[in-house]
Amino acid sequence: MNHKSFALPWLIAAALLVVMMPLPAMAQPDYSGQWTQLSAGWSEKVERTFHTSVYSPSTNRLIVFGGSVLGTTLDDLWILSNANGLGGTPNWVKQTPLGVIPPARSRHTAVYDAATDRMIVFGGCTSFCTPALNDVWVLKNASGIKPPMWQQLLPAGPWPGQREVATAVYDPGTNTMIVYGGDNGFPGGTFYDVWVLSHANGLGGTPQWSQLSPMGGPPAGSGQRWHSAVYDPINNIMTTFGGYNNNDMIINETWTLTHANGIGGTPMWAKMDVDYGDCPVRTSHRAVYDPIANTMTVFGGYNPDVGLMNDVWLLWNANGLGGSHGWMQLFPTGTLPVPRATPSLNLDPVTNRLIMFGGNAQEGYTFTTWVLTHGNGM
């Protein structure tokens, strides 16, 4: 298996005093998370990997776009209702969006603006990645409460190079999307750059790309592709973990980028030296961030020495602030999902539940949805 065959409502106020406290370096939290497979009205038609999904907390819906299955690149759009497993029976419904449908793609990025119910899609890979993409599309009414509609954005300024397996995060306060890394689908085509798209949801002005010039980097040892990235909107910090570096090696380094949206100061890369624990080396995993608890939760992925994985790890003080930083493995109860790479992973900040869908498993492409309680590790 090689790497070419493989990503505000807050927590309830009563929990704030607990989750605001940083974890001590050697402490294992009282963790009682449990995996549950949703009995959704699924169909094999939703099976896929290399897709993206975003989650709408206000409607409890998971929005899935694109990906690939059995060598076919997809352009379809699906919505899962009651996606966190609460409030009713989960059910998949295929959507028929208005507007021009984006070209089929996989290995792309997607972020979500909850305030306007808009999903923003960037780049990815056409069939066989010849070529990769650097276009931007917005899906209006993404949660499907009203008819969804696609709109292509045509930003001003020079555009990022065409790329796949990058990461993107979204800052709702400034309506900016931050894109980092990826590759152009060819050997030696790895990117180390950081780009910011203003007016990313298509509202408030003309979208424009701007390339950042961070100090302290680029992080030569960090994962520039097939990595994960999360964002702290309170402190404007992006945290990246794992993936392949420019030497085609899988690593387990964690880096932070301050002033990640290019506002408020000079962006700066810094390698995080953790005080306790090491998350195992991996690529093609997924991660989510809880800005109140300041924790990053990592699920699954691939390591050639281990194979596909289904483990869950927690990084506390994940934005690089707040004292000591450390990794610990979480051990959920319940039946575990089969090991997999390149699923999608979202956190419901209201109920603190992780929602994991799809991916590439030893058994093939998956079409199941799983929910993990206590998703932020607490």
Domain ranges of the chain: 45-372
172: closest CA among 228, 231, 229, 214?
231
> pLDDT tens digits for 322-378?
889 999 999 999 999 999 999 999 999 999 999 999 999 988 889 999 999 999 999
Q: How confident is the model at residue 25 (pLDDT cuts 50, 70, 90)?
A: very low
First vs last Cα of the chain: how many Å apart?
35
Least confident piece of the model among 19-23, 126-130, 250-254, 268-272: 19-23
Does domain 45-372 fall under CATH 2.30.110.10? My reply is: no
> pLDDT tens digits for 292-330?
999 999 999 999 999 999 999 999 999 999 889 999 999
More confident call, 224 vs 148: 148
Q: What is the 3-state secondary structure (H, E, C) of 50-104?
A: CCEEEEECCCCEEEEEEEEECCEEEEEEEEEECCCCCCCCCEEEECCCECCCCCC
Mean pLDDT of 93-100: 97
pLDDT confidence of residue 53: 98
Q: Inform me whether the pLDDT recorded for 196 exceeds 50.
A: yes
Asked if residue 336 lies in contact with residue 35, where contact means CB atoms within 8 angstroms, the answer is yes
Query: Model-level pTM?
Result: 0.91
| CA-to-CA dists, residue 259 to 36, 215, 225, 249, 253, angstroms | 38, 11, 21, 28, 20
DSSP, residue by residue, 328-361: EEE--BSPPPPPEES-EEEEETTTTEEEEE--EE
pLDDT confidence of residue 14: 31
pLDDT confidence of residue 42: 62
pLDDT confidence of residue 248: 83
More confident call, 40 vs 152: 152
